[in-house]
Amino acid sequence: MADLSVNFAGIKSPNPFWLASGPLTNTGYQVAKAFDEGWGGAVWKTVGEPVVNVSSRLGGLDYGGRRMMGLNNIELISDRSLEDNLREIAQVKRRFPDQAVVVSVMVESRPEAWADVLHQIEDTGADGVEMNFGCPHGMSERGMGSIIGQVPDYTCQITGYAKSFTKLPVIVKLTPNVTDIRNPARSAVLGGADALSLINTINSVMGIDLDTWRPLPHVDGRGSHGGYCGPAVKPIALHMVSSIAQDEGVGVPISGIGGIETWRDAVEFLLLGASTVQVCTAAMHYGFRIVREMTDGLNDYLNARGMARVGELTGGALNRLGDWNDLNLSYQVVARIDQQKCVGCNLCYIACDDGGHQCIDLIPGQKVPLVREADCVGCNLCSLVCPVPGCIDMVPIETGRPAKTWRGLA
């Protein structure tokens, strides 16, 4: 067995799989049930001044027969009293001393408000706090959430409040609703953040019912912008995680969030700089038991690569990711079609002729289209639309040209 344990900014857990703050960490019952299934940690649903939540709250994006490819929510922070939450946090931590219990928190931007809530959280025995600077709806209209995370000066200042009032590790959860994620990340670190987590949900409108013209979801016929998450956001999350992992002005541990469903997804986040990962939508969709496949798959992957500890993965692929200007302009791939696997659907021809570079021909009397390799630019479109796995490969060819980059030419 590989060693899956992590020490994240002083917070220890038996594996890197944590539940993200959300509806699935709303009660002690839920978090305890998750820990029984094997989750390494959980970030409690954001506590603060209790709110009144709306009904209904969730909207799903289905695509190609796949349910909940994306999920939108207009739910706010916990609508349970701070006292009830704190009591259950303490109970869970006593029962599960080895699992990480982190408390997400959001209060008004006053030093005394942060001092009061953080002292109460410390008394529960929790392992750390996560400052919610990312919620894009409802709370931002009240001067909290993403309205803080979108202004680097506010991020720095309020992080400083927290650091001055608690000895617990402070994680700052960043909003993706910014132009450059590195700016608030640097500001959080400047304010004293011990770690960062990202991404929070993306501002979105899920859709409109074409029969009733009601937004989805709707509350008594009216809707609002909400937070978008789920598998569809993973590429955005990977980009932002890698951006701050590579930034010299950050340099603190990162907890990756956004569209993680499998151990493979988790490994991608780890390779791009995360030390732990947080899961929400997938656990809401399939239940807490998915962590069993995640831990087994991660263990098998590490063993197959001869790695003893999960920490060996963190940042392993960062040196392969950089600026476009540094890409080799002399590198060339072309499409090659496997004649045995081709079913003659001609989707590759249609895509190339209408949306690509017109380098695939249909030959009368021949089932398999012909790629004119001399004209193929290697865009990959044909291989992406092909319905048969492995039928179209993108094959590197020798060009005889020396490696060169745009930066080198400039």
Q: Which residues are catalytic?
A: 135
CA distance 314 to 295: 16
Instruction: Give, in order, the Cα–Cα distances in Å from 13 to each of 17, 169, 335, 404.
Output: 9, 14, 46, 45
∠63-285-91 over CA atoms, to 5°? 155
DSSP-derived 3-state class of residue 345: coil
Structure tokens at 17: 């799989």
Among residues 100, 108, 118, the alpha carbon closest in space to that of 43 is found at 100
Pairing of strands 254-257, 17-19: unpaired
Helices (H) and strands (E) in the chain, counts: 13, 18
Instruction: Give 38-56 as a DSSP string.
Output: T-SEEEEEEESS-----S-
Tokens of 127: 């392992």
Phi, psi angles (nearest 5°) of residue 128 = -175, 175
